[in-house]
Amino acid sequence: MPVKVIIFDWDGTLVDSEAHIVSCLTFAAAQQSLPQLGYDRYKSIIGLGMHEALLALYPDLNEHQLVAMRESYSAHFTRSTKNETQLFKGVRDTLEALTKKGIRLAVATGKSRRGLERAKQATRLGHYFEQERCADETKSKPNPLMLQELQHYFDVAFGEMLMVGDTSFDMEMAYNAGIPSVGVSYGVHDPKTFMQWQPQAIVDNLSDLLTLSHL
């Protein structure tokens, strides 16, 4: 079935923000006098909504601590827009080529709406995407609701959509929604963790999407 809609994850798929996100989590934890969990542990939750990510890292946080952590994280994150503009190789050209093919594009991200709007402005990628879903507007990955809402918006069959992401959360969300997926090998999670969710392909560069036979 030919693909009519491609849904992209943001951090780790389009934008190389891993180190900055880990730095912000490290900073926020220090601000709240919480134990430092290390780079790999903080990296592992990238892709989840912030609420879900913080509870995955620190399950005993109360509501006050959650709010304080979010505020510390956000304040540190917004101090530099440079970290929001580090696109992976081939991103802009690939989005342009897909648009010229008539494929409609969307975003499904663990970012908040405020964070995504800031990131779209910083990267100047926003005009490529017809629709987005953010973790503070719906259920966080790997719950399939983001993709179900996008399927309803675009009014296409699930098999006519494709989810592209860099984490097992992306692959599991697509699997749960019955949507084909493609993983990228250069992002946050080891692509070996994708296989249980049966992605159609794993690509080393986003531009490799253009070589897939059903696009």
pLDDT of residue 155: 97
The reported pTM is 0.93
Instruction: Say if CB 135 and CB 52 are below 8 A apart.
Output: yes
Task: Tell me the C-alpha distance between 34 and 31, whole Å.
Answer: 8
For the chain, the distance separating the N- and C-terminal CA atoms, rounded to the nearest angstrom, is: 9
Q: Which CATH number fits domain 5-16+86-211: 1.10.238.10, 3.40.50.1000, 3.20.20.60, 3.30.365.10?
A: 3.40.50.1000
Report which of 39, 64, 46 is spatially closest to residue 9, judged by C-alpha positions.
Answer: 46
Residues with pLDDT less than 50, the chain: none
Could you list the beta-strand ranges (E) of 80-168.
104-109, 131-134, 161-165
Task: Tell me the C-alpha distance between 136 and 20, whole Å.
Answer: 20
pLDDT tens digits, one per residue of 50-89: 999 999 999 999 999 999 999 999 888 877 655 657 899 9
pLDDT of residue 80: 60
pLDDT of residue 75: 86
Domain spans of the chain, in order of start = 5-16+86-211, 18-82
What fold does the segment set 18-82 form as a domain?
DNA polymerase; domain 1 (1.10.150)
pLDDT of residue 81: 56
